[in-house]
Amino acid sequence: MATVTVPAEARRISGLEAVRAFLADHGIHHEIWPLEDRVDPAAPAERILAAYAPEIDELKARGGFVTADVIDVYPDTPNLDAMLAKFAKEHTHTEDEVRFILQGRGVFHIHGTAPDGADTVFAIEVGAGDLISVPRDTKHWFDLCDDRRIRAIRLFQDTSGWTPHYVEGGVHEGYMPMCLGPAWVPGSRGAAP
């Protein structure tokens, strides 16, 4: 379940209602979707997408998404460092970034505006069961935790897929991902990918 950290205030927010309220104040939408009682989160991608079709179709209708896929990252994924480096620099997208986490975990940093208008950076650690939607044009970046494992459903408006627009002078270098949730246990690979 998602946890929020605000480094400048040495503040940590946990608990579903508090996290959701903080994120809503900053324009970030969060939901919890069912996991094992719907489908084995390690099932093949086609089964995952079929199992969550009602939620995916609703998001597509609401957000103008046309495609969904399942991304799988393991510590031994080829070229993992190069892939992670692309996510880990401050960037924006021209569409909402919507992710539903099936396995593993990771940290989104958001460089946004607080309700009082001040510039702010905060981190959202997401894990299995979390759906997060980062609105288009929001400055953000993403890191895995030390276990370097995540499996997530992604939705796209643009069929060409994930396209970052990097922010000049991005502030990402001043922040490290701080992961608190349960680590992925190697060997729980299941049927995936």
Binding stretches for Fe ion (CB under 5 A): 97
Task: Identify the residue whose tokens are 């892939």.
Answer: 83
Nearest 10 degrees: Cα torsion 81, 86, 87, 88: 80
Q: Nearest approach, Cβ of 134 to Fe ion (angstroms)?
A: 7
Nearest to 26 by CA among 133, 128, 126, 105: 133
Cα(136)–Cα(97) distance, integer angstroms? 7
Q: Which residue is nearest to Fe ion (CB)?
A: 97
Q: Which is nearer to Fe ion, 55 or 95 (CB)?
A: 95
Q: Which amino acid is it at 128?
A: A
Q: Nearest approach, Cβ of 93 to Fe ion (angstroms)?
A: 6
Tokens of 143: 């890191």
Q: Nearest approach, Cβ of 45 to Fe ion (angstroms)?
A: 20
Q: Nearest approach, Cβ of 43 to Fe ion (angstroms)?
A: 26
Q: Nearest approach, Cβ of 97 to Fe ion (angstroms)?
A: 5
Q: Which is nearer to Fe ion, 43 or 109 (CB)?
A: 109
Q: Which is nearer to Fe ion, 127 or 135 (CB)?
A: 135
Task: Identify the residue whose tokens are 């992925």.
Answer: 184
Q: Which is nearer to Fe ion, 14 or 163 (CB)?
A: 163
Contact 123, 109 (CB under 8 A): yes
Q: Which is nearer to Fe ion, 97 or 130 (CB)?
A: 97
E strand or H helix at 58? helix 53-63
